[in-house]
């Protein structure tokens, strides 16, 4: 693979030549060195991508949820909800109602950091969602982490 580079000054030309010679010397098929090319072992590390959004996606696939303020209140009154998620821009009156019903039902409440558009997107929906209740977590560990 050849690359044409135009040098603007003598220093640029020296830098380009130095980079070219070092890349040729470090190339795995270079016959001048007797060392085999280095291989790197891929180490699986715990990602910080295990966020609430990724756990919500797993709940949506394998668990049971109700989305919306009215259905969340119904599930809280019936005592079926295991966790309630409230978006950041939920109106204060609705938020206090949901927290009151959750307190009566002894259900944990998590305040989602994003707005209702971001909560709906985290659930994989194309609409907004101010509140949602998780009835069954499925394969996700969202209840143990949030409670």
As assigned by CATH, the class of the 52-146 domain is alpha beta
pLDDT of residue 139: 87
Q: Give the phi and the psi of residue 87 in degrees, each rounded to 5.
A: -70, 165
Predicted TM-score of the model (pTM) = 0.64
As a whole number of angstroms, the distance between CA 118 and CA 116 comes to 5
The domains of the chain are located at 52-146
Q: Give the per-residue pLDDT at 147.
A: 45
Question: Model confidence over 34-59: pLDDT tens digits?
Answer: 565 555 455 444 454 568 888 999 99
Q: Read off the pLDDT band of 144 (50, 70, 90).
A: confident
* 61-90 confidence digits (pLDDT tens): 999 999 999 999 999 999 999 999 999 999
- Burial (CB < 10 A; 0-12, 13-18, 19+), residue 118, is middle
């Amino acid at each position: 693979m050849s690359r044409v580079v135009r040098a603007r000054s003598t220093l640029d030309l020296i830098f380009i030549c130095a980079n070219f010679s070092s890349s040729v010397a470090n190339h795995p098929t270079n016959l001048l060195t007797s060392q085999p090319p280095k291989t790197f072992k891929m180490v699986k590390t715990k990602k910080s991508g295990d966020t609430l959004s990724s756990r919500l996606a797993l709940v949506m696939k394998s668990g049971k949820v109700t989305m919306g303020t009215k259905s969340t209140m119904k599930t809280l009154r019936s005592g079926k909800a295991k966790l309630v998620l409230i978006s950041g821009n939920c109106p204060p009156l609705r938020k206090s109602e949901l927290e009151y019903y959750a307190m009566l039902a002894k259900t944990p409440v998590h305040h989602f950091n994003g707005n209702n558009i971001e909560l709906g997107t985290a659930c994989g929906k194309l609409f907004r969602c101010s509140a949602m209740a998780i009835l069954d977590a499925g394969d996700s560990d969202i209840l143990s982490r949030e409670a």
